[in-house]
Amino acid sequence: MGPHPAVAAIRLAVRRVLHDILNDHHAILNDHHAAADRPASADRPVPADRRVPADRRVSGERSPHERPSPLVLVACSGGADSMGLASALAFEAPKLGIRAGGVTVDHGLQPGSDLRAEEVVLRLRELGL
């Protein structure tokens, strides 16, 4: 017996988005590698919409043929919807080789919000995010 139909639907939706992210990521990397293989006279700037922003580049040494894995973050309030999304991301991302993480923000607008944020962080860590 598989997961509840609602869980299966969320996982499917997340899987589809992750596939889109991978396709876009590979297209950007392929454009970058193709530009690196062209002679200097054929170099053209990479269009702005195809560039990987500096803050999204993965640092570290890797072989020339190794492609960095994209990082997908889920914003999580700790409510049922965002925890369901976080759970689906934690389940699907590793199967596709995508790095995944979770973030939460304590705006400090309500008493006890710091405790709630800590609870959310613990739940995200338990999911492996």
Q: Which domain holds residue 47?
A: 5-127
pLDDT digits (tens, 9 = 90+) for 7-32: 999 999 999 999 999 998 878 777 66
Distance separating the N- and C-terminal Cα atoms of the chain:
26
Among the ranges given (21-25, 60-64, 68-72, 119-123), the one the predictor scored with the smallest mean pLDDT: 60-64
Number of domains composing the chain: 1
The CA distance from 95 to 19, in Å, is 11
The CA distance from 120 to 77, in Å, is 7
The CA distance from 92 to 96, in Å, is 7
Please tell me whether the overall predicted TM-score, pTM, comes out greater than 0.95 for this model.
no
Which of 124 and 34 is assigned the larger pLDDT?
Answer: 124
Q: Which of 20, 81, 83, 118 is nearest to 91 (CA)?
A: 83
Question: Quick one: 39 exposed, middle or buried, by C-beta within 10 A (0-12, 13-18, 19+)?
Answer: exposed
DSSP string, 44-67: -PPPGGGPPPGGGSPPS---TTPP
- Count CB atoms within 10 A of the CB of residue 114: 11
The proportion of the chain whose per-residue pLDDT surpasses 90, expressed as a percent, equals 64
